[in-house]
């Protein structure tokens, strides 16, 4: 071997060693990074965690209603209106997997334990379907819970109450006081001014949709339908594509949603009952001999999520997206109970911490109870009683019943008068015969 060739071999060898060392450093870096990521994914929740209450919106659904002139009519939605779609089922299944990963170690995610978790849903079908899809991702059967080797699913109980009796999740139980506050808002000078300011736009929407009357309070119906169509790649009517129309509709939708929980009095009657229940569970969890589940799951609506956040004084006034998730965690840190409110309104990002107005960053349970006194009802039924005279106006059916009752009373009084007159006349005739 020539001196030049030997020198070249030495240089090549050193270069190869450097390349090998570089590759090893890269591999080590990747390994460490992957280990950290995997470790963070599989890491158990902190030992301080004592209780979790979780509220989420259902998954993707078909429109609740379709405007008359929509080119996409009901035949585009074979499941029917307002139903959870296959996309919605997949979304909730994936959300269940996310919860399984997040709370692995706090609850037994490998084996469903009915003593650890309680699940409640709005009785609206899309919420019930969302709950079952979510649980399929959270608790796939393993070991002795496999009841059919061909079905990777197990039945898990979900409780609900009739919609008309639900003031907690469906928010459909009658509350005259809330209706009174909402109507007062619609009658306010600010609302009237908004209607006048956007009068031409509403008239344009009415003309193109076939809806007789559109205002800020009901514009969400049209926008909701368009959102459902967009998520399923359906073509909109031409008028929606005109310059600035969609942005305007979207802004009005946000404003209309804000009307529902405009102040603490409205939030108290809508989000208050659910927050009161969750705080009750947390207070019980601070006892030395607590009983009952340590994980509460609620499958509900966008309005439920927004109402709860409003009652917490932590609502950002934006409509919660499909599968938006609120997690209230109770931690015991240095002998003090701390509540963390976490919100996941973007499925591509980690949940972020919400700090209820009036709370410190480490919001203690006692602080939370104090700052939500104005939004947690003492007696919801009593507080829902209306106070204004307008709230006592009778429905058509009530007017009919009242008319019938008044008519019967008049007939009874008339019959009584006739009988008294006849009775008096008979007495007079008898007296005349006895005294000729």
Active site residues: 58, 302
Distances, alpha carbon 119 to alpha carbons 43, 115, 383, in Å? 24, 11, 28
Count of residues making up the chain: 436
Rounded Cα distance, 238 and 224, in Å: 17
- From the number of C-beta atoms within 10 Å of its C-beta (0-12, 13-18, 19+), residue 267 rates as buried
Distances, alpha carbon 6 to alpha carbons 2, 20, 272, 404, in Å? 6, 21, 84, 118
Are the C-beta atoms of 268 and 376 separated by less than 8 Å?
yes
- Identify the three-state secondary structure at position 340: strand
Give the torsion sign (CA, 89, 94, 97, 102).
negative
Structure tokens belonging to residue 287: 């006892």
- From the number of C-beta atoms within 10 Å of its C-beta (0-12, 13-18, 19+), residue 409 rates as exposed
Q: What is the DSSP letter of 164?
A: G
Rounded Cα distance, 273 and 268, in Å: 8
Rounded Cα distance, 256 and 191, in Å: 11
Rounded Cα distance, 226 and 328, in Å: 32
| Residue reference for tokens 């197990």 | 154
Q: In whole angstroms, what separates CA 46 from the centre of its chain?
A: 27
Q: What is the widest separation between alpha-carbon atoms in the chain?
A: 171
Structure tokens belonging to residue 291: 């009983």
Rounded Cα distance, 67 and 81, in Å: 12
List the beta bridge partners of residue 297: 54, 119
Structure tokens belonging to residue 346: 């973007």
Structure tokens belonging to residue 129: 């379907």
| Cα–Cα–Cα angle for 128, 131, 133, rounded to 5 degrees | 110
Q: By C-alpha distance, which of 186, 250, 183 is closest to 222?
A: 250
Residue 354 belongs to what H/E stretch?
A: strand 352-354
Q: By C-alpha distance, which of 338, 354, 420 is closest to 46?
A: 338
């Amino acid at each position: 071997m020539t001196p030049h060739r030997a020198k070249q071999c030495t240089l090549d060898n050193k270069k190869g060693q450097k390349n090998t060392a570089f590759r090893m450093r890269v591999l080590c870096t990747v390994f460490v990074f992957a280990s950290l990521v995997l470790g963070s994914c599989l890491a158990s929740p902190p030992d301080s965690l004592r209780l979790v209450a979780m509220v989420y919106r259902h998954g993707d659904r078909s429109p609740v209603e379709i405007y008359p002139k929509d080119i996409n009519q009901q035949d585009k939605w074979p499941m029917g209106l307002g139903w959870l779609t296959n996309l919605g089922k997949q979304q909730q299944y994936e959300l269940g997997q996310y919860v399984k990963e997040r709370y692995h170690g706090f609850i037994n995610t490998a084996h469903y334990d009915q003593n650890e978790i309680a699940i409640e849903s709005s009785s609206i079908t899309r919420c019930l379907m969302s709950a079952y899809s979510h649980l399929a991702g959270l608790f796939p059967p393993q070991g002795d819970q496999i009841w059919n080797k061909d079905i990777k699913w197990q039945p898990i109980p979900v409780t609900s109450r009739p919609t008309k009796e639900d003031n907690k999740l469906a928010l459909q139980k009658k509350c005259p006081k809330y209706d009174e506050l909402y109507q007062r808002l619609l009658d306010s000078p600010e609302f009237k001014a908004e209607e006048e300011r956007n009068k031409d736009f509403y008239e344009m929407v009415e003309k193109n949709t076939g809806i007789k009357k559109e205002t800020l309070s009901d514009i969400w119906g049209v926008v909701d339908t368009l959102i459902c169509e967009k998520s399923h790649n359906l073509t909109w009517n031409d008028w929606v594509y005109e310059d600035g129309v969609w942005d305007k509709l979207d802004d009005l939708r946000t404003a209309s949603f804000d009307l529902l929980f405009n102040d603490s009095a409205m939030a108290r009657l809508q989000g208050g009952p659910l927050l009161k229940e969750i705080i009750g569970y947390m207070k019980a969890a601070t006892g030395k001999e607590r009983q009952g589940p340590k994980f509460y799951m609620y499958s509900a609506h966008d309005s439920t999520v927004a109402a709860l956040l409003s009652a917490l004084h932590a609502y950002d006034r934006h409509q919660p997206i499909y599968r938006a998730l609120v997690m209230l965690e109770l931690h015991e840190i240095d002998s003090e109970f701390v509540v963390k409110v976490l919100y996941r309104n973007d499925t591509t990002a980690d949940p972020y911490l919400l700090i209820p107005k009036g709370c410190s960053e480490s919001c203690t349970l006692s602080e939370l109870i104090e700052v939500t006194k104005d939004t947690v009802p003492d007696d919801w039924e009593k507080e829902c009683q209306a106070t204004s005279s307008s709230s006592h106006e009778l429905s058509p059916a009530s007017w009919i019943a009242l008319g019938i009752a008044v008519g019967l009373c008049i007939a009874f009084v008339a019959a009584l008068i006739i009988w008294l007159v006849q009775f008096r006349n008979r007495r007079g005739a008898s007296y005349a015969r006895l005294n000729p």
